[in-house]
Chains A and B, each alone.
Chain A
């Protein structure tokens, strides 16, 4: 069973394995094992294990390789480069989500479909900037597809993170800054002021920092916990770590701490409270409401498919604006409120 996504069903359709291009015989971010998978970015809900061949952007090859089994068959090509597969033109275009993230553009007989993956249009020095791509069919994420989500500028967010760090130093508390190990942590790192104090990285974050540096992204110096001298004064330091460390014994070594979580969900007080963090920074790698609408508009698409997020709401809103829009049920998840998918903020779309 499959659903035609583009006007020509052979260009792009939804199957139980994922979004499929029949003529080119490849899937985009499939959720079951397939022969050929074009990957938008290396987050685990989009880049799953077990595909025979992976295709991704050159910028993203390093991080993807670290996320998958070492023997994985990965090939990559540059943003904007055209690949002709059985008469289908395939190209990748920056999605601005994390390093190497791409929108997949597929063209057959003059009809163009674009799968956005996850994306943001706001500037980010740790990855290539989002590029609007004209198309007929646009498959868009809508993780934060509600008008309550509007992001502040990076300058404002980074200033408040650095301010928080300094306040903690004054109170003799170690700053624990929690966020996704891939993407969020590096973006945060790029905005930290290393003159304030030492920046430490959890092992999971460190591995991704290295991948970013190898790809030529310049990041402030971070230190691993293992290389610190005994008697190191954690009260001056900021620690970048994944959310899973919250409440774990791993945190004990730092003495008195202040914890903060970086996520778009932190825009709402209730979500902040439930995470029981001292601070929440509204830092997201997804588009906020105005940028989401702006991005959709700039594609000029006639058919808009909304996946993962507030899909029903976005679709209803777009229809009200006179657009063709439908919900596309995929197994992608977007940004999770907690480290356990499906429990908290993420709305089920029944």
Chain B
């Protein structure tokens, strides 16, 4: 555990990518295969189920530290990170331990979920007695499932590749899907042979697009590009292998059971096929608003009523495997031909943007996106292979410009982690017809560090009231908010819900009276 805790702190304290890779390479070279396997598991963002509620965890920590629950809450408020708070308040350890990460995972972490509460408490408190400050911190992180240390799966793969010599693409593929770091996992991950028994359910790494920031015309000849709508749903891979269907989300969750309609589509595909596409709530030849699809997300099982009111379908836009062959290296134009052949097996007809000959005309086509409830256009080079991860140059997303409004800061709350103890989480409001400010959106990002400091000082000086961690501030600051979509909502006081709100800029030039009105914002809602 000591080595893994050291790795965690090293990764956590560095902002340099090369340093982070070097720390991981060093760890993978020296750790036992069991420990390294679990390290890969956690570093790639996987986690076992949280064994108990965080409130229990806090209570046990307060008890061990000999402090009242309210005092623990004050500590948590000052630190902003539960795992760290607990590590800080506990008395020094009374024993040492030499066990590695794998031992702690197998003998403590995975056991916990099956134990009754009283035994959980004892196991956790006994564990704390044996762990040093930094080990406790990481142990707590593993338990709370908040294990984020600022490395992407791509970086982990790079480090693994450097330390083992196995190509990155092979490693990326092997790390897809549902796996745990059982025995021999690490050895087989780094195996140089192609293993024929590799899991049939395993998806391919998703190819991701970059946002187009340059002029579209800089992409060269329009005829080299395949133009599609950019759908706003759940990116998914549908796999038909060994007589079974597997549906994977981009978050690498197996979602077959949640979307029986998609599973049915998969069942009709020929053996040895993998399709890449987007799951959408669909009715009358066009998508339903994203909020409708949201009703299906997160439901493990779906009732007949929901199936009827929010039917989903698959917009298939690529094929990765055909007749048992990995076709990702074939040019997109050829893969699309295969996709056309597959249409006969029941794939829905995908609406396509109008064919045009000039980039300028394409810009006009893009403007239709909002009415069609799509996010914009996808531009894919016809000759491109299906890449691993986010490769620049072949796939671009050309989204609509976001909506923007001016709103007034009314509530502030402290952030967590890096932003703990600074007021960084804001609620913004606009004017209703009675000249009252109604909350419209929360936004957490978009300001520079210097601006955050400035707002933080403002909040401290202009607090009117406190409700738990939330402060009401004098409505003075006006910010321009950008967001991607807007819908009616019965759950919000304002009657509307916005998607992906963020701060576009601080309007120093505007006062609260210059903020938008609710009526103005409602007029943005598409029919």
Contact = CB atoms under 8 A, between A and B. Distances in A.
Is B a genuine binding partner of A? yes
Interface of A: 146-150, 267-274, 310, 313, 316-317, 320, 342-345, 347-348, 350
A270 B68 contact: no
30 contacts: A146-B75, A147-B65, A147-B67, A147-B71, A147-B88, A148-B89, A267-B88, A268-B79, A268-B84, A268-B420, A269-B84, A270-B79, A270-B81, A270-B417, A270-B419, A270-B420, A271-B421, A272-B13, A273-B418, A310-B74, A313-B71, A313-B74, A317-B67, A317-B68, A343-B453, A343-B457, A344-B421, A344-B422, A348-B460, A350-B463
Interface in B378-427: 417-422
B78 interface: yes
A148 B79 contact: yes
B266 interface: no
B85 interface: yes
Nearest to A312: B74
Interface in B30-64: none
A267 B417 CA distance: 14
B66 to A, nearest CB: 9
B88 A347 contact: no
Interface string B186-219: 0000000000000000000000000000000000
Given A267-B88, A268-B79, A270-B419, 16 more contacts: A146-B75, A147-B65, A147-B75, A150-B88, A150-B92, A268-B78, A268-B84, A268-B88, A270-B417, A270-B418, A270-B420, A271-B421, A274-B418, A274-B422, A343-B453, A345-B421
Contacts of B72: 147
B467 interface: no
Interface residues of B, number: 30
Contacts of B422: 274, 344
**Most chain-A CB neighbours within 10 Å: which of B79, B85, B421, B453?**
B421
Contacts of B418: 270, 273-274
Given A268-B78, A343-B453, A348-B460, A148 B421 contact: no
Nearest to A267: B88
Interface of B: 12-13, 65, 67-68, 70-72, 74-75, 78-81, 84-85, 88-89, 92, 417-422, 453, 456-457, 460, 463
Nearest to B75: A148
A150 B65 CA distance: 12
Given A148-B78, A268-B79, A317 B71 contact: yes
Contacts of A317: 67-68, 71
A252 B515 CA distance: 45
B301 to A, nearest CB: 40
Contacts of B13: 272
Contacts of A147: 65, 67, 71-72, 75, 88-89
B9 to A, nearest CB: 9
Nearest to B66: A147
A145 B295 CA distance: 47
B144 to A, nearest CB: 15
A270 B424 CA distance: 13
Contacts of A148: 75, 78-79, 85, 88-89
Nearest to A269: B84
Contacts of A344: 421-422
**Most chain-B CB neighbours within 10 Å: which of A267, A273, A310?**
A273
Contacts of B92: 150
Contacts of B71: 147, 313, 316-317
Contacts of A310: 74
Nearest to A348: B460
A157 to B, nearest CB: 13
Contacts of B75: 146-148
A313 B70 CA distance: 9
Contacts of A150: 88, 92
A109 to B, nearest CB: 37
A347 B414 CA distance: 12
Contacts of A342: 457, 460
A122 B25 CA distance: 40
A146 B68 CA distance: 12
A234 B358 CA distance: 61
Contact of A320 (B68, B85, B453, B463): B68
B80 A270 contact: yes
